[in-house]
Amino acid sequence: MYDLRGHGRTGRPATGYRIEDFVADLDGLLDALGEVRPAHVVGNSFGGAIAYGLAAARPDRVRSVVAIESEPPVKSWAEKMAEGLTGEEGGLVVKEVRTWLAEDPERNARPFQLAGEILDTTTLSEDIPHSRVLDDGLADIRGPVFAVFGAASKLAGQSDHLAATLAHCRTVVLPDQGHSVLVERPRETAELLLEWLEDDIHDGIHTPVKGAR
């Protein structure tokens, strides 16, 4: 796992936050690591959009995409990102986070404070909605995809669409779960991921399981 640009110990340039910039970072990281084998790329939330982007831009580098509570960076994704990150008081995402923190004073606000600093000091909120997006038909994503969603999440509705659109796709929807799948269901998520990887090792290729729940 690595820190995205602007996050953690990675540098925080003032500009350069379109999805293609994040994809180029990951592509460059694989080069720097000397990794020549196709990789299983696991992305959580925004990281999943980057994983989809790399699979489209560099299919030779991606053996499969594992997307946890994520969606491909298509036009509708860019529109939602614009609504969430820009506008009055920072957009819908900022408002929802403030409400969520206010509901329980014991919740850790530090990660969200750091995110706020990134929004305040960079062009991230303006850049992401203007990213180069994929075609809605997802024709550029040709490799296997494993997508995990929480049933109570706003993103879960795309499960059937992904399974029907992508040639090699398995989707799992976890009941009674919101967006924070990786935080709140880590063991179950790990088991699903290991099962996916074991299928690849034993079969040599993923058998498509469309719409699996």
Using a 10 angstrom Cβ sphere, with 0-12 exposed, 13-18 middle and 19 or more buried, the burial of residue 14 is exposed
Structure tokens at 95: 């408002």
Which helix H or strand E contains 37, and what residues bound it?
none
Full pLDDT tens readout for the chain, 213 residues? 999 999 888 999 999 999 999 999 999 999 999 999 999 999 999 999 999 999 999 999 999 999 999 999 999 999 988 888 876 656 666 677 777 667 777 777 666 677 778 888 999 989 999 999 999 999 999 999 999 999 999 999 999 999 999 989 999 999 999 988 998 999 999 999 999 999 876 565 444 333 333
Domain architecture of the chain: domains with CATH: 19-75+136-203 (3.40.50.1820)
Strand partners of residue 107: none
At 63, phi and psi to the nearest 5? Answer: -80, -40
- CB under 8 Å to 65, separation ≥6 — which residues? 41, 43, 48, 51, 52, 55, 141, 143, 144, 145, 146
Q: How far apart are CA 175 and CA 7, in angstroms?
A: 31
Contact 166, 138 (CB under 8 A): yes
Q: How far apart are CA 178 and CA 156, in angstroms?
A: 9
Q: What is the pLDDT of residue 210?
A: 34
pTM of the model: 0.87
- How is 138-156 classified by DSSP, letter by letter? -TT--S-EEEEEETTSTTG
Q: How far apart are CA 153 and CA 22, in angstroms?
A: 24
Q: What is the pLDDT of residue 189?
A: 96
Q: What is the pLDDT of residue 208?
A: 39
Place of tokens 């499960």: 159
